[in-house]
C-alpha cells in the first residue's frame, strides 16, 4: 500500500493574529506550493530525511545559508512530533491502530518561515496519510486541533488555530474562536464558503525576511496575558473587521474590502514591533494601488488587486525590493 497526501500554504485574509486570542479570522489555502507526504508499508518504521534536513554541506557558508532558510530544525522533528501526538490521540479516543510499520518521506516547496504555515502543512499532510494508513476518521475541527497540538504542546511553538483549520477544510473559512465555544468543546465556529466570493487577490513574499512565528508572537502573548488594554482592544477590533468582511463577501461586496485589510495591518503596526523591510513591502504595495497586510507572522503580504495594471505594477515595484508576487490558486475542495 502506498499513500500520497498533500497540504497547502495558508493565507490569512483578515483578522490575524487574533485567532490565538478568541478572535475572528478568514483564511484560505492555495495550491501554488504544497507539502507532499508519501507513506508505504514496510518492515520497520522509517523516516526519510527531506530537503530541509541537510546534514552535509559544501562549506561553512552553505551551512549558515541553510540555517537562515530553515532555522536550526528541519522536517524530521515535525514528523516525529506528529507521530507521537497521533498515537496519543488514538489512545485517548480508543481508536485501534493496525500493527504494521511504514516508510515515510516528505517534500515541500512552500516558502519557509514566512507566515505561510509551511510547518503545519507538512504535519497536516502526514496525519492525513496516517489516517488513511490506519483507517482512522478524524473530523475537520479535531484534525485542526490535533495538528496545532503537535506544534504547541509537543514542540513549544507559538501558533494559533486558523492555519490548521484552513488546511483541514481546504476551502476559504470564516472562523469565530468564541471563548465560550473554545472552552466548552475545544473549537470555534467554522464556516467554509466558496472561493468565488473572494475578490482578486495577490500574495507577495520576500525570502530573506524569514522568521518563525514563535519569534513574532511571544511578546504579544505576554502582553495579552497581563491584560494590556491596547492589545485587548486590538483583538476586539480585528474581530469586528473580520465579521464585517465576511458579511461583505456574503452579500457580493467583495470589491469593497480592501480598506478593511489595510486597517487590519494598521492596527497591527501599532501593537507589534515590525521589521522595516516588512513595512516597506506593505507601503510599496499600497503605493501601487493595492491593499496590503501580512498573510501571517511576517515575510509575506496579501491584499486585493483592483485590475491587471495594478498587478503588473506590483510585480515590478516589489521585485525592485526583492519580493516575488503571485496570484494564489485558491483551493476550493468540498
Using CA atoms, how far residue 23 sits from 10, 26, 231, 269, 313, in Å, is 18, 11, 12, 18, 34
Q: Name the phi and psi angles at 302, rounded to 5.
A: -140, 150
Distance separating alpha carbons of residues 221 and 236, to the nearest angstrom:
15
Measure the CA–CA gap between 204 and 292, rounded to whole angstroms.
10
Say whether 163 is catalytic: yes
Strands 101-108 and 46-47: parallel
Cα 27 to the center of its chain, rounded Å? 9
The count of residues in the chain is 334
How many other C-beta atoms are found inside a 10 Å radius of the C-beta of residue 262? 19
Which residue in 163, 228, 236, 309 is the catalytic one? 163
Q: What is the distance between the alpha carbons of residues 159 and 213, in angstroms, rounded to a whole number?
A: 7
Distance CA 10, CA 17 (A): 13
Residues carrying an active site annotation: 163
Amino acid at each position: 500500500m502506498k499513500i500520497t497526501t498533500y497540504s497547502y500554504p495558508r493565507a490569512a485574509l483578515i483578522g490575524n493574529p487574533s485567532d490565538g486570542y478568541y478572535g475572528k479570522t478568514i483564511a484560505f489555502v492555495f495550491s501554488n506550493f504544497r507539502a507532499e507526504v508519501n507513506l508505504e508499508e514496510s518492515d520497520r518504521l522509517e523516516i526519510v530525511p527531506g530537503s530541509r534536513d541537510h546534514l552535509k554541506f559544501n562549506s561553512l557558508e552553505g551551512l549558515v545559508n541553510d540555517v537562515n532558510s530553515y532555522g536550526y530544525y528541519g522536517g524530521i522533528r515535525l514528523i516525529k512530533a506528529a507521530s507521537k501526538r497521533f498515537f496519543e490521540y488514538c489512545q485517548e479516543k480508543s481508536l485501534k491502530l493496525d500493527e504494521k510499520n511504514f516508510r515515510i518521506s516528505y517534500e515541500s516547496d512552500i516558502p519557509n518561515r514566512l507566515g505561510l504555515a509551511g510547518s503545519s502543512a507538512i504535519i497536516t499532510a502526514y496525519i492525513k496519510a496516517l489516517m488513511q494508513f490506519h483507517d482512522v476518521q478524524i473530523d475537520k475541527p479535531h484534525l485542526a486541533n490535533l495538528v496545532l497540538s503537535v506544534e504547541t504542546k509537543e514542540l513549544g511553538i507559538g501558533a494559533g488555530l486558523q492555519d490548521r483549520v484552513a488546511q483541514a477544510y481546504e476551502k476559504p473559512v470564516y472562523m469565530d474562536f468564541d471563548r465560550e465555544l473554545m472552552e466548552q468543546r475545544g473549537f470555534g465556529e467554522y464556516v467554509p464558503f466558496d472561493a468565488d466570493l473572494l475578490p482578486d487577490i495577490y500574495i507577495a513574499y520576500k525570502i530573506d525576511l524569514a522568521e518563525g512565528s514563535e519569534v513574532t508572537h511571544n511578546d504579544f502573548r505576554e502582553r495579552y496575558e497581563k491584560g494590556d488594554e491596547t492589545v485587548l482592544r486590538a483583538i476586539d477590533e480585528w474581530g469586528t473587521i473580520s465579521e464585517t468582511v465576511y458579511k461583505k463577501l456574503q452579500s457580493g461586496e467583495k470589491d469593497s474590502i480592501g480598506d478593511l485589510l489595510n486597517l487590519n495591518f494598521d492596527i497591527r503596526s501599532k501593537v507589534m514591533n515590525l521589521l522595516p523591510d516588512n513595512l516597506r513591502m506593505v507601503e510599496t504595495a499600497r503605493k501601487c494601488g493595492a491593499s496590503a497586510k501580512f498573510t501571517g507572522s511576517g515575510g509575506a503580504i496579501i491584499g486585493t488587486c483592483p485590475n491587471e495594471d495594478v498587478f503588473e505594477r506590483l510585480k515590478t515595484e516589489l521585485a525592485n525590493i526583492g519580493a516575488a508576487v503571485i496570484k494564489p490558486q485558491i483551493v476550493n475542495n468540498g
